Amino acid sequence: MSSKDAHDGNKLLVLNAGSSSLKFAIYNAGIGAEMPALLLKGQIAGIGQDRTRLEVKALQGEAPDWPFEADAISTHREALSLLIDRLAITREKATWLGIGHRVVHGGTAYSAPIVITDNDIAALESICPLAPLHQPHNVAAIKALRDLLPDMPQVACFDTGFHADNPERITRFALPERFWRAGIRRYGFHGISYEAILHRLQQEKIDIPSRLVIAHLGNGASMAAIKDGKGIASSMGFSTLEGLVMGTRPGSIDPGVLLHLLHDGMSLGDLEKLLYHQSGLLGLSGISADMKTLSDSKDPAAARAIDLYCHRIAMELARMSAELQGLDMMIFTGGIGENAANIRAAVCNEAAWLGLSLASGANERAAHPAGPLQISIAGKHVRVMVVPTDEEGVIARHCKELISHI
């Protein structure tokens, strides 16, 4: 992609660094437009594994001739060097406005997007123990780019930021005061996705109801209760382990189980591996963490895992409705929420007592990347919708706003 693809100084790179992948999206920030325009997106997958592949899809024009599969790229820094080369950022630096990152955890200090400084990098690195599955990779990408492109502005957007003003009675644990002061509290996650959904409703001129629950269902999963357009509760808490059953994470579990396993001789490392990588749908089924694989399986263990998964969502929906003192709308989003009609149907069937009722044809037709689609029966009190999320778009918008004022 050359400088003719965007106005000078208007291109944005948005990154989401995972444990073995680097997802990216390129935007043209434009002049005067509220939302940057998505040009292309892709990922470098298999970082640190046997084979690494680069995938890219153009949203405007032809896709560049980048895709490849090669011997392993061992670090995120190597992956970023490859991406910088493919994007010609060093050679065409004047055409780039900046780089935005999804950062999972902002702790108690960061509740809004920031332009990153060296002090911020140190602070974000100190939070890594609070989100060991995500934060180290987020910070590693920021640090690598600080070296590779030292003059390029970088922006961090935090998944915890959306929930920063949740009421104290929801975010406090029943522990002594010193733990609250030390930052032991419920933070909530997937906030960038929730922000994206609210923004999409506004774009589509769909009234945001007083009592809204959004279910972000992907490999990681959570729900948020939103009162009059403002988040008040999240199913996730201090870590990304609490709440719903996920791909490889168990969701809420009696802390006594964890104490028992430790007393029984399990090491802290093995316990962490169990909770982050071996539980959830994978652990329940013994087959896969992938919902489509389980939905296509005839194995009773797959059906059992799906049943428990949907039941936990329905029960959490009831809790969120209690926080809101009622329910006007529920929205499904995320990879599973947008694409798995069977999961939406099972959840709504179990939560029918709350007023959820699906129009079966609409539910079957709802699929990403379709726009917001109501899948509930018209005229029912509780509207049920499927709304594709756009976390990268939210990050690009914050990048444009923040960097333009530097």
Task: Return binding residues for Mg(2+).
Answer: 16, 391
Bridge partner list, 16: 23
Bridge partner list, 96: 11
In the chain, the amino acid numbered 31 is I
Q: Which residues participate in the annotated binding site for substrate? A: 102
- Residue 297 has which token pair? 């399986």
Exactly one of 8, 120, 159, 307 is catalytic; name it.
159
The side-by-side arrangement of strands in the sheet containing 154-158 is 68-71, 51-58, 37-45, 21-28, 11-17, 96-103, 154-158, 114-115
**Has 159 been annotated as catalytic?**
yes
- Residue 334 has which token pair? 């995320």
Q: Compute CA distances 93 → 85, 151, 197, 343, whole Å.
A: 12, 10, 32, 46
DSSP alpha helix (H) spans, 5-108: 76-87
Q: Which residues participate in the annotated binding site? A: 16, 23, 102, 216-220, 335-339, 391
N-to-C CA span, the chain = 26
* Contact by Cβ (8 Å): 25, 392: yes
* Contact by Cβ (8 Å): 304, 268: no
Catalytic site positions: 159
